[in-house]
């Protein structure tokens, strides 16, 4: 297993030691804190990539589960599907990032990825997400249920015209 292969000189599993279930990539802080010697940095890079891959795989599963059901050409998808997906994705990103600095940018990225995964053009997905989220979330502040509901409702109303 990849986790078992990532060990420091003392035999401690760096992934298990540094993984945080709430962080998207918890082992890596920034270059000034995470980059030291090649021997110390290489295992952190591997662990960070493993965490990132796990997050992307988790998102892929969520995207598949949250995607609206196929609809006949020309028909409109029930807005409930978009609202539910947005609510769940905003919530999971806020949780995983602990709503730290700039978390909302990654949240918007995840929402764009989700919309693109359902067949919405990337530029249209960017417009939909910017309209729904833009400026409504802030660093170090997890959104409350009312904010998530408002963003999800806006996204659901806006995406209807792009599908």
> For residue 142, what pLDDT band results from cuts at 50, 70 and 90?
very high
Share the mean pLDDT of the chain. 85
Q: What is the pLDDT of residues 102-111, one digit of tens each?
A: 999 999 999 9
Please name the residue that has the structure tokens 């417009």: 127
Query: HSE of 137 in the Cβ direction (CA atoms, 13 Å)?
Result: 34
More confident residue, 7 or 45: 45
DSSP secondary structure of 7-49: B-TTS-BHHHHH--TT-SS-S---HHHH---HHHHHHHHHHHH
- Closest of 73, 62, 146 to residue 111, by C-alpha: 62
- Closest of 124, 138, 130, 137 to residue 154, by C-alpha: 130
Please name the residue that has the structure tokens 């960017």: 126
Tokens of 129: 């997400």
Mean local confidence (pLDDT), 42-65: 95
Confidence check: pLDDT of 9 > 90: no
Confidence check: pLDDT of 115 > 70: yes
Range of weakest confidence among 53-62, 63-72, 110-119, 146-155: 63-72
Mean local confidence (pLDDT), 119-130: 96
Mean local confidence (pLDDT), 51-78: 91
Confidence check: pLDDT of 67 > 90: yes
Look at residue 73 in the predicted model and tell me its pLDDT. 75
Mean local confidence (pLDDT), 68-95: 91
Spatial contact of 6 and 47, defined as CB atoms under 8 Å apart: yes
**Helical segments of 24-144, H only:** 31-34, 38-66, 79-97, 103-117, 122-133
Confidence check: pLDDT of 21 > 50: no
Mean local confidence (pLDDT), 26-48: 88
Spatial contact of 159 and 82, defined as CB atoms under 8 Å apart: yes
| DSSP three-state, residue 95 | helix
Look at residue 76 in the predicted model and tell me its pLDDT. 82
Confidence check: pLDDT of 19 > 70: no
- Single pTM value for the model: 0.82
């Amino acid at each position: 297993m990849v986790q078992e292969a990532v060990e420091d000189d003392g035999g401690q599993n760096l992934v298990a030691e540094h993984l945080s279930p709430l962080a998207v990539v918890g082992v890596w802080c920034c270059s000034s804190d995470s980059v030291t010697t090649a021997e110390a940095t290489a295992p952190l890079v591997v662990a960070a990539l493993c965490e990132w891959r796990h997050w992307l795989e988790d998102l892929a599963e969520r995207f598949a589960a949250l995607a609206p059901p196929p609809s006949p050409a020309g028909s409109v998808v029930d807005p409930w599907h978009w609202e539910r997906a947005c609510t769940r994705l905003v919530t999971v990103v806020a949780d995983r990032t602990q709503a730290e600095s700039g978390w909302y940018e990654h949240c918007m990225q995840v929402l764009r990825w989700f919309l693109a995964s359902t067949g919405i053009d990337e530029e249209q997905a960017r417009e939909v997400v910017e309209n729904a989220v833009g400026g409504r979330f802030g660093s170090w502040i997890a959104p409350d249920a009312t904010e998530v509901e408002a963003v999800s409702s806006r996204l659901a109303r806006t995406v209807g015209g792009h599908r």
